[in-house]
Amino acid sequence: MESTIATDANRDNWGGGTDKPLGASYGKMMMWFFILSDALTFSGFLGAYGFMRFKFIDSWPIADEVFTHFPFLHGVHAPMYYVALMTFILIFSSVTMVLAVDAGHQMNKAKVTFYMFLTIIGGVIFLGSQAWEWKNFIGGSYGAVQLNDGKIIQFVDASGEQITLESFAKPLDSERTQHIKSKGLWFVEEAALPAITLNEVIEGFKAHPEITIRTEQVNPELKEKTIIPRANAMAYLNESKAVVVGANLQVNEYGKSLFADFFFFITGFHGFHVLSGVIINIIIFFNVIIGTYERRNSYEMVEKVGLYWHFVDLVWVFVFTFFYLV
């Protein structure tokens, strides 16, 4: 039985010789394998999102009504503006990464350092922006009421514009307190109670004849939710069970609970990739500064991390399209 001995000639196939498979070093080839496997993972997640959205296409939340916030513009309706800015920042960081890789090919340490720094700044700004988006998504904007069957109804004024619960709820004296262990209820624990109770919403609704409700049902052509005539609205409120403010993994004020589940999971998974990329970029950045790759006479490590960063940017284009545009 013959055995194969690894010789210098064999190692050259992966060590930089002229016979490298596909013209790539071992490190770059492994990075491509990782990107391919990760692309399949994201494809599965986005595919599942697409199937669920198609299944509930007539009740899926409308992105233009969910992502409407912009920093320092409180009360201004700015649908998708901030998400578009986040996307631009991430794509711009991909451009600076290209310039860093090109500078590495030219063995220009100063330019590699400068463009790597810009790439890191872009990644940090994107992560901060995504955290701010999560904060607003979780905190909510208007509030809603959940019915016994789990569906969500929202409140609108005479012009059909959604309004906050605070704008019409009628304050009532209530002795209801949160069930927590420190109050002797060692066997019960619940989430913090909403600032507005269901009874306050119902009584406030009765006192404001100019408002009505709208359901989750969406007209796909008009991209508008179905408004219920005032005369029929109380029939829905009589079937209500809880006030909903913001979003979590069980329920959200925007409509279908699956929307929040997918949003948290997919954007969170992508955010983890961006965070990983920023950390790796910082490590490579400091290696560039201390001259590690200058001594190696190769900036291939910058090129490898560049491949990962471009992949993260490309994935965001699909996430942005699925969640915010389609």
Q: Report how far residue 255's alpha carbon sits from residue 146's, in angstroms, rounded to the nearest whole number.
A: 9
Please say if the pLDDT value at position 193 is more than 70.
Answer: no
Alpha helices in the chain (DSSP H): 8-15, 26-55, 63-66, 81-105, 109-139, 198-206, 230-237, 257-262, 268-289, 292-296, 300-320
Mean pLDDT of the chain: 87
Q: Which two tokens stand for residue 66?
A: 């969910």
Calculate what percentage of the chain has a pLDDT beyond 70. 86
Please say if the pLDDT value at position 1 is more than 50.
Answer: no
User: What is the arithmetic mean of pLDDT over 77-96?
Assistant: 92
Q: Are 59 and 218 in contact (CB under 8 A)?
A: yes
Find the distance separating the first CA and the last CA of the chain, reported in whole Å.
Answer: 61
pLDDT digits (tens, 9 = 90+) for 3-24: 444 444 444 444 445 555 566 7
Q: Which two tokens stand for residue 87?
A: 């996307």
pLDDT attached to residue 14: 47
pLDDT attached to residue 192: 60
Q: Are 155 and 165 in contact (CB under 8 A)?
A: yes
Q: Report how far residue 40's alpha carbon sits from residue 36's, in angstroms, rounded to the nearest whole number.
A: 6
Q: How confident is the model at residue 278 (pLDDT cuts 50, 70, 90)?
A: very high
pLDDT attached to residue 10: 47
Give the Cβ contact number of residue 136 at 10 Å.
18
Closest CA to 122 of 274, 272, 269, 267: 274
pLDDT digits (tens, 9 = 90+) for 232-276: 999 999 999 999 999 999 999 999 999 999 999 999 999 999 999
**CATH no. for 21-140+259-325:** 1.20.120.80
What is the CA 237 to chain-centroid distance, rounded? Answer: 32
DSSP 193-208: PPSS-HHHHHHHHHT-
Closest CA to 230 of 150, 146, 158, 144: 158
Closest CA to 225 of 235, 212, 233, 215: 215
Q: How confident is the model at residue 174 (pLDDT cuts 50, 70, 90)?
A: low
User: What is the arithmetic mean of pLDDT over 86-105?
Assistant: 95
Q: Report how far residue 314's alpha carbon sits from residue 311's, in angstroms, rounded to the nearest whole number.
A: 5
Domain ranges of the chain: 21-140+259-325, 144-245
pLDDT digits (tens, 9 = 90+) for 51-81: 999 999 888 998 888 998 888 877 677 888 9
